[in-house]
Chains A and B, each alone.
Chain A
Amino acid sequence: MTQTVTAPRYAHAEGYTALAFAKSGQFVCTGGSDSLVRVFYASKSERDQEAITLEQHSDNILSLAVSRGKVISGDEEGVVFGFDVGQSSASEPDGLSVQPSGTVLRSTLPARDISISSNERQVAIATDDESIRIVSLLDMAMLHTLIGHRGSVNSVSYSPDSTYLASSGCDGTVRIWDMREGDPACVQIMPKIAYVCEPGNSMEQYKVRWSPDGRTLAIPCADHSIKLIERNNWGVSALLAGRHTNTVCHMAWSSNSKYLASASIDCQVVVWDVAARKAILSHANPNALCQVEWNPQGNMLAFSDCTGAMYIWDDVIAVEQGHAAPFERALADASTSVKDKLMSDLFDDAAAAAPNGASEDGMDEDEDEGDLLDDGDATADAMDDFVVDDDGAGYAERQAPRWTAVAASEVQCFQSGSTPWIGSRRYLAFTMVGSVVSIAQDESHNTIEIEFYDKSAHRDFHFSDSFKFSMAALSESGCLFATTSRELTNDQSLRGAADGDEVSVVSYKGFASWSANSDWTFKFPPKENPRCIATSSHGAAVVTSLGNLRLFTCGGAQRHIETLPNRVVTCVARDDLLLIILEALGTIRSSGGMKQLEYEYVLMSMDGQSRLAAGSCPVTPSSEIVWTGFSEEGHPAVCDSKGMLRVLHKYWAPSHASWIPVLDSRKLSRDRGKREGFWPVAISATQFIVVTCQGKSKYPPFPKPILDELDVDVPLLNADTQVGQQEAKYFASRLFIEQQRGEAERTGSEYPGGGASMLARDELGQDKLLLRLIQLACKSDKTQRAMDLAMMIGLEKSFDAAVKIAVFLKQSSLAERLMRLRETKFASEVEDESDNSDDTHSEVVARQGDIPPPKSRRPAVAATYGRERRVADAADGDDVDSGNDCDSDLGVEALELGKCTRPPLPEVLMRSGANTGRAFADSASRSLVSRPAQPPTTSKPFNPFGVATPSKSMEIKRSDSFFNAADMHSDESVGPSTPSKRQQPSSDDDDSITAAAGMPRKQAKKATTTTSNDSKDRVQPKLTAFAFKKGGKPTNDMDCDLADDS
C-alpha cells in the first residue's frame, strides 16, 4: 500500500522526542533532547513554514501536552513550563503566537508525562518520584499529590470527562484515580498489567491512554500487545496483539475512538481497528519510535523517532475503502454556536466545565472536547444541573449521533449459573438440579465434580476432564459439556493448552441408569466452536460460533440444525422448550463507556420444529442480562444486572407473549439495608432462589452455599400500603394461574397438581385475594374501585361474598349495583357454561374414554354428600338451574347468619358441604379441563369439605362464611406445600375477614387472642381441640382452627 508518509523533518537533536497535536489539529508541537519546543503547522500547505521555537527549557524535553489554549512541556530536570497559545494578529487569523506563561511545576526528577483535564483547570504530571502532582492551571497552585505507586510513575491520562485519572508505574501497575471528589482516591489498582520497565530509560517509558469516548483505556503490556480496559468494571475487554515484536511505548486514539495507533521500539507504527481487534495498517520506520499522535481533526498521524525526526502520515485510513474516517466531521451549526458562546459568557466557569459550553465552531479548538463529553449518562453527574437544563432541545439532537453500533463480534455470550475462576475452582453450572464445578489441576486436565441437591435421584460423581471443558449445562437427565475456542473466552487456563489446530468438543453424560452407554461426544469442525449450550430432559442444544443451532436428542442423535443470527448471548432449556437470547441489532454503546444493550429472544421447541414466541427482550436501561432460566412452573425468566427479574408471560399464546417484571431484587436489598448481592439460581411462582453474596463478592463461594429464597414481589405502585401488597399478591397469583392453565393447554396435560380441583382451589385463592381488596376498598369508601375489583371475580360464589362484604360494611349502593352486575354477569355465563361444559365433557371423553361422562356422575356426587335428592335431581336435569340453587342456599344461609343462630352441627355440615361442593363442581366444569368429582371419602385431591380425616370434620362449621371455607382449603392443601405461605396470613387478616363475614365480634376477638397464644405454645390448642370435640362446643373449636391457620 502506498503510504504518504512525509520525509523526516529533523526537528531536534538525536534523542527522545515528544510530540503532541493541538486539539484543533492546526499545529503539532514537538520537544526533544535539544531542550527546544517547536510548533509546526500541520496542514499540508503550511507544513513547510518555519516552526515556532520556544527556548525555555534547559534540559531534554520528555513530555508535552496541548490543550485549547495552552502548551505544557516537561523536561528531564523536572521543570514543567506552560505556554499560552493565541492568534498572533487580527489580520492574520491563522498565525499563531505562543508565549511562555510561567512555570507550572518544579520537580526534582524528570517529568515523564502530562495530562490536562478537559476543563483545562488542572494538569496531572507524572514524575520519576512515586507521586503524581495535580496542579491548578488557574493559579499554578499544587492541588493534590497522589501517592500510591511504588516506583516511578511514567504516565498519566485523564479520562475525557475528567472523572478518572489513569496512571502507570515502572513496576507495571496501573492505577485509576477518581478525580470527582475534592480528594482524589484510588479506585482501582491493576498490578502487573503493563510491562515492567527500567526507570530512567526514556525510550522505554510507555504511556497509557484513554480513548476519546472515555470508555476504554489502552495499556501496553509485556508480550508486546495492547490491552484495552473497559471503564467501570476495569476488566480487559480486548487484546490487540500479534504485530509488534518489541515493546509498545506510545499509543494514540483517533478522535472517534475507532482506531488506535501504536508506536514501538521495533520501529513500527501500527494502526488497529479497535472494533475488529486487528491491525489494519503498519509502517516501518528506520529508527526506533518515540511517540505517535493522531490529528484530532484530520486523517493524519504524526510520529517521532529517536533521531529527533518528526514524520507526518497523511490520509492514514483509506476512507474510500469503506473505513470510517478517524475523526468526526461535526457540521457547525451557526445558531448553536452563537448560543453556546453566549452561554459560556453567561456562566463562565460552569460552562467551561460543562461540555455543552464548548463551542461547535469548526475553527475552534473546543470542538473535539465537546464531542467527547456530550454523552449524558456518564458525565451528567459531574456537570452542573442548570447548564444541562438550559441547553434544551439542541443538546438532545446533538447527542443522538454519538451512539455507535457495535460490531457483532463483540457479543459476549455466557452460560447461566457459571462463574469465572475463583482460585482454582469455578462453577460451570448451578441450577436447582445441582452444580457442576471445574477444579483446575494441571496443564493437561481439570477435574469436574457434579453434585446434586437431590441425593436420592442421582449419586454425586466426578471425573478427570482432559478436554478442559469451559461450559456445562445440567438437567435432571444429563449434563452437557463443551469446550470453546480461547478467542471466545477469557479463560487464562486454556491458553497454552489449546493451539492453532484446536478442535472444539461437546460431550454429554446421561444420568439414566437403564441405558448402558448413554454418553456421547462430538467433535466440531475447525473454526466452529460452541458459544453456548443447553440441555433438558428432551435433548441438548448447542449454538456455535458460526451461528448454527444444533439440536441433539438425549441419546446423541442429531435431530436438527438451523442457522441463527450470530448474536446469540445465551440459551437455556426446560423440558421441551428452548429459550435463546440474542443481542439485538439496536445495541449501542455511549461514548462514556456505558453500554445500552438490547436483546431479542426466541422461544422454540426442543426438537426445533416450532417457534412459540420471539421478539425483543427488554432490560432495565444500561444493564445487561446476567441470568436466564425457566421458572419451576415453566415461565421463561430473565434477570438483568440491575437485579430486575422478568418472566415471559403468555408465551403459549402466539403474539401475546409479554415480559412482566416480578421482582426488583436490588430494591429488596436496599430495603433490607444490607450490602448484599443476589446471584440468581432459579425461580418459582412465589420465590426467586438466589445465592446471597455478602459484601463485594459477586459470585457464590466454595463450598456450595445454602440457597436463599426471596419472595416474588411484583413492583406495583404503593407497595408499602396494604392495598398495594394485596394487589401485588393478586397479580402474582393471577400470573401463576394463567401460566399453569396455559402450560397445561399447550402440552395437552392436566392442570398440574391434580387437575381441575387444583385449578378450582387456586382460583378460589385468587378470588380470596380479590375479596380482601374489595373489603379494603369498601372500608375506605372507594366504591368504584370495589366495583372494578368485583368485575374481576371469577367464581359466582366469590361474587356473593363480595355482595356480603358490601352489605356488611353498609355500602348499600354498591351492594345493589353488585347484585345487578351479578345477574348480568352470571346469567350469561351460566348459559355459556352449559355449552362449554358440554364441549369439555366430550373432550374429556375423547381423551379418557374409560371415564364416564360427568352428567351421570352428578347425582352420585350429590347423593354421597347426603344432600337432598331434589337438588341433585335438579342438577342432573339441567345445568342452568345450578345458579338458582346456589341462590336459594345463600338465602337460607344469609338468614341464618342474620339471626346468628347456631344450627346443630350435622345440618351445617350437610348444607355448607353441599354448597362448597357445588361451587367446586361449577368451577370445575367452567374450566377447560374437567375432572370427575369424587366423593369426600377419598380425601385427596378433590376435597370440597376440606375434610381430610374425621378428626378434622369439626372445621366444617367454619364454612358458614365463604372466607373460612376458602381459608380451610388453602390451608389444607396449599399450606404444607409452601410452608412460607402458611405463615403469612397475619392474625390481623383473619380477624377482619371473619368479622366481615358476619361472625360475632366477640368470637373473632377470641380467635385472635388464641392465635397469639398459639405462637407461644403449640401443644395447647391441639389439646383443647380434642377436649372440645368430646364436649361438642363448636365456638372454641373454631378458635382452635383459626389458631392452626396462623
Chain B
Amino acid sequence: MAITTRQTEGFTMPELEYLAQNEAITIVPLHRMDRIELVRGTVGPFRPPQKTEVPLWLAIMLKRTNRCRIVAPKWLQYEHLRDLNKREEQPDAMFTRLPTYYLEIAHMLLTFAEDDLVESQGIRRLLQDLREVRQSKTMEGLRMLNSLQLQMDNLSMAEINEIRPLFGHSFDMLRQLDGLAQATETEQQQSQFADQSYAEMDDAFGSRYVH
C-alpha cells in the first residue's frame, strides 16, 4: 500500500479531528426523529429520553442545534481521568488504555458540549496533565528506538502523529545504517522482520485512510 506524504509527514490537528468524527458516541436526543439513513449505516430512531449511539459529527451537529445532550464517555469523566492520571504518573507505568482519538474527541466535546460534562474545568486540567505525562513518556520511549521495532502500546492517534515525522525518518535512517553494517544472513532475516513490523504499523494507522 502506498504511503502518502501525509502519513509520513503527519496530520494537522483539524485533520485528525475530522477523522475522529467518525467515532461513535452516545447521545440523549431532545427531539423525536425517525431513523436517518446514512452511507455508513442507519442511526436512530431518536426517541427521547432513550440513549442512542451516533457518529460524533452527527452528535455535534445535533448538539449545535440543541437537539441532543451528549453523554460523556466513561473515560472522559472526572473521576476516571483522575484515576488514569494517577496510574499514568506511577514510575514505569505503561501507557493506559484510552480511545485512539481521545484527545480529539475530548477537544471537540469540550468545545461544543461543555455543558454536558460535569466539572469540565477539572477535566480540562486533567487532560492537560495526562497529555503532558504521556508526552514525556513518548519522548522517553523514543530513546528505545532501534532498527527493528519500536513498541509503545496504547498510544493514541494524536500522539503517534506527533512523533511520526521524526520517527519515520529516524527509523528509515537506522535501517539503512543497519543494512550497511551487516550483510549476513541474519541481517536478511532481520530486515524482513523489520519490513513486517513496518507493514503492521501501516495497518494500524494507515489503512483507514484509503481514499
A contact residues vs B (CB 8 Å cutoff): 432, 452-457, 687, 689, 706-707, 709, 975-977, 979, 1017-1020, 1022-1023, 1044
For B, the interface residue count at a CB cutoff of 8 angstroms equals: 26
Chain B, 67-88, CB within 8 A of any chain A CB: 67, 69, 71
Cα A977 to Cα B34 in complex, Å, equals 9
Residue of A nearest to B35 (CB): A976
B contact residues vs A (CB 8 Å cutoff): 22, 28, 30-33, 35, 40-45, 48-53, 66-67, 69, 71, 207-208, 210
Contact of A454 among B31, B35, B69, B71 (CB under 8 A): B31
Contact of B51 among A706, A975, A1022 (CB under 8 A): A706
Q: What chain B residues lie within 8 Å of A687 (beta carbons)?
A: 50
A1017 with B207, Cβ < 8 A, contacts A454-B31, A976-B43 known: yes
- 21 A-B pairs, CB-CB below 8 angstroms? A432-B49, A452-B48, A453-B28, A453-B30, A453-B48, A453-B49, A454-B30, A454-B31, A455-B48, A456-B31, A456-B33, A457-B32, A687-B50, A689-B49, A707-B49, A709-B50, A709-B51, A1017-B207, A1017-B208, A1019-B210, A1022-B40
Cα A205 to Cα B57 in complex, Å, equals 70
Cα A979 to Cα B69 in complex, Å, equals 18
Q: What chain B residues lie within 8 Å of A975 (beta carbons)?
A: 42
Cα A1017 to Cα B69 in complex, Å, equals 27
Cα A308 to Cα B126 in complex, Å, equals 72
Is A977 a contact of B45 with CB atoms below 8 Å?
Answer: yes
Q: What chain B residues lie within 8 Å of A1044 (beta carbons)?
A: 41
Residue of A nearest to B51 (CB): A709
Q: What 8 A-B pairs have minimum CB-CB distances, sorted nearest first?
A: A453-B48, A453-B49, A456-B31, A455-B30, A976-B42, A454-B48, A976-B35, A454-B32
Q: What chain A residues lie within 8 Å of B28 (beta carbons)?
A: 453, 706-707
Q: What chain A residues lie within 8 Å of B43 (beta carbons)?
A: 976
Cα A1023 to Cα B208 in complex, Å, equals 11
Is B66 a contact of A976 with CB atoms below 8 Å?
Answer: no
Q: Told that A453-B48, A707-B50, A979-B53 touch, could you supply 17 new A-B pairs with CB distance under 8 A?
A: A432-B49, A452-B48, A453-B30, A453-B49, A454-B30, A454-B48, A455-B30, A456-B30, A456-B31, A456-B33, A687-B50, A706-B49, A706-B69, A976-B43, A977-B45, A1019-B208, A1019-B210
Distance in angstroms from B34 CB to nearest chain A CB is: 10
Distance in angstroms from A746 CB to nearest chain B CB is: 24
Q: What chain A residues lie within 8 Å of B67 (beta carbons)?
A: 455
Q: What chain A residues lie within 8 Å of B207 (beta carbons)?
A: 1017, 1020
Q: What chain B residues lie within 8 Å of A977 (beta carbons)?
A: 35, 45
Is B51 a contact of A1018 with CB atoms below 8 Å?
Answer: no
Cα A987 to Cα B51 in complex, Å, equals 24
Q: What chain A residues lie within 8 Å of B53 (beta carbons)?
A: 979
Distance in angstroms from A1021 CB to nearest chain B CB is: 11
Distance in angstroms from A174 CB to nearest chain B CB is: 35
Distance in angstroms from A231 CB to nearest chain B CB is: 35
Distance in angstroms from B30 CB to nearest chain A CB is: 4
Distance in angstroms from A706 CB to nearest chain B CB is: 6
Residue of A nearest to B209 (CB): A1019
Q: What chain B residues lie within 8 Å of A453 (beta carbons)?
A: 28, 30, 48-49
Cα A1023 to Cα B40 in complex, Å, equals 11
Cα A432 to Cα B210 in complex, Å, equals 44
Residue of B nearest to A457 (CB): B32
Distance in angstroms from A589 CB to nearest chain B CB is: 38
Residue of B nearest to A431 (CB): B49
Cα A1044 to Cα B49 in complex, Å, equals 27
Cα A1018 to Cα B42 in complex, Å, equals 14
Distance in angstroms from B141 CB to nearest chain A CB is: 23
A455 with B49, Cβ < 8 A, contacts A706-B71, A976-B42, A1018-B40 known: no
Name, among A452, A687, A975, A977, the residue most crowded by chain B CB atoms within 10 Å (CB to CB): A977
Cα A687 to Cα B49 in complex, Å, equals 13
Cα A24 to Cα B40 in complex, Å, equals 83
Residue of B nearest to A948 (CB): B37
Cα A648 to Cα B68 in complex, Å, equals 34
Residue of A nearest to B44 (CB): A976
Q: What chain B residues lie within 8 Å of A1023 (beta carbons)?
A: 210
Cα A432 to Cα B28 in complex, Å, equals 12
Cα A585 to Cα B56 in complex, Å, equals 56
Residue of B nearest to A434 (CB): B49
Cα A919 to Cα B59 in complex, Å, equals 40
Q: What chain A residues lie within 8 Å of B31 (beta carbons)?
A: 454-456
Residue of A nearest to B52 (CB): A979
Distance in angstroms from A949 CB to nearest chain B CB is: 9
Residue of B nearest to A972 (CB): B42
Residue of A nearest to B67 (CB): A455
Distance in angstroms from B64 CB to nearest chain A CB is: 14
Q: What chain A residues lie within 8 Å of B22 (beta carbons)?
A: 1018
Name, among A689, A709, A976, the residue most crowded by chain B CB atoms within 10 Å (CB to CB): A976
